[in-house]
Structure 1
């Protein structure tokens, strides 16, 4: 479990980006953070993984205060984290299997054959075979995301963070990626946190959902609760997201 307790974060210009955010993210669940651009959802995700230092409050991994932990403890926790970046963030000059093995090269003493076996297992788990020697430039958008997922789980993480995992993907591929993330979350009992504005993802895999509005936690519930919401700002966000998706679908025809 990951908990944010009364978290505040300001930028250097003094603008308050996160305003006393309190939230819990459960293991074995797909925990979604939604909100319009500039709402603070990406900043919250970066605070949870330690890329931003919070001004006040606490971030706890189980019962350990991550935000106030010594550097050595933070490093130990970070080795239990997996991250899927918005664009995949693969190393262009490395092959698929080299990209997946990269965390093993950095953080383990495994032999080359052991690393290759582990990487191949993860690639098979994301239904990506016969692509080991390809480079990122030779992959489709969906394949890049699957390689990124394989790399994110290669260290057997307890916590998985996904920043807009469906960005740039067509609707059909987006569903494949959503289902894959949900399957892995449940299979390995991972605490998964997904930052997204894709309402299809929300309605398909949103076990718990937090809506951030102007830096505050404005609404919290499940994908079933969201259908009956009377929260004006959330309703406007849902409508805008649906319209944007229709526009992208029409442009792709």
Structure 2
């Protein structure tokens, strides 16, 4: 479980996160949603330690991540997997080398052991026999799955996903959503997904935090959304005619 407790964050005197508190549950796909400029990306980066809050705390399973020393944070980051928006694969490395990268950095395993683990992770995301290929030689959806394989290489307790469906066609996006949810349950991880994809919200939104103008305006499940009287949330979720029709038929 990850907890955000009274998080404030500003840049150049402008308040971006205003007293945000939220709980992200273990074994669940936790989504952070909100319109562009709402503060959701800053919240994700604060939770993972890429931004320091002006005040407040980030708690990882009763451990104060915000108050950790540099060495304690290095140790804690070994428990974190990160799926970046653009996959962030190294173009000059093969698929296997990309997946093996965190193992090379953070473990003292033999090369054979690291290769075996990389291959096991690739198999888990349904990618086999592409070890020797480079990112430019595979599709965007396959690149995303390679990035997921890399993110789980260290058996993380926490997984952060920044717009995982960005740039993907709807069919591939569904595959990625389902894979993230399956891996979350299989590894019993605390997974936090930053997204504006409404299909993801309704497909895998087990716990959803809605950020509006820097504040947490709502928290609940995808089912709860249909019964919410939060106007800002309704305006955001049901902006399209398609999702309005879904609500009308509930």
Give the TM-score range, shorter chain: over 0.9
Size of the alignment, in residue pairs? 243
SS at match of 1:48: helix
- In the TM superposition, residue 234 of structure 1 has moved relative to its aligned partner by 0.9
Counterpart for residue 124 of structure 2? 125
Q: Counterpart in 1 of 2:77? A: 78
For 2:227, the equivalent position in structure 1 comes to 228
Distance 2:241 2:66 in 1: 38
Unaligned runs of 5+ residues in structure 1 are 246-253
In structure 2, the residue matched to 1:202 is 201
1:70-92 per-residue CA deviation (whole Å, 9 max, x = no partner) reads 11111111110000000000000
Deviation for aligned residue 1:244: 10
Unmatched tracts of structure 2, length 5 or more:
244-250
- Could you report, residue by residue, the CA deviation over 1:10-45 in whole angstroms, capped at 9, with x for unpaired residues? 00x200000000001111000000000110000000
The one-character-per-residue Cα deviations of 1:89-109 (angstroms, maximum 9, x if unpaired) are 000000000000000010101
Measure how far apart 1:4 and its partner are: 0.5
Aligned-pair CA distance for 1:239:
2.9
- The corresponding residue for 1:141 is 140
Partner of 1:251: none
1:9 paired to 2:9: yes
Match of 2:35 in 1: 36
Alignment of 1:203-218 (within 5 A): 203-218=202-217
Q: Which runs of 4+ in 1 moved over 4 A?
A: none
Q: Report what 2:247 is aligned to.
A: none
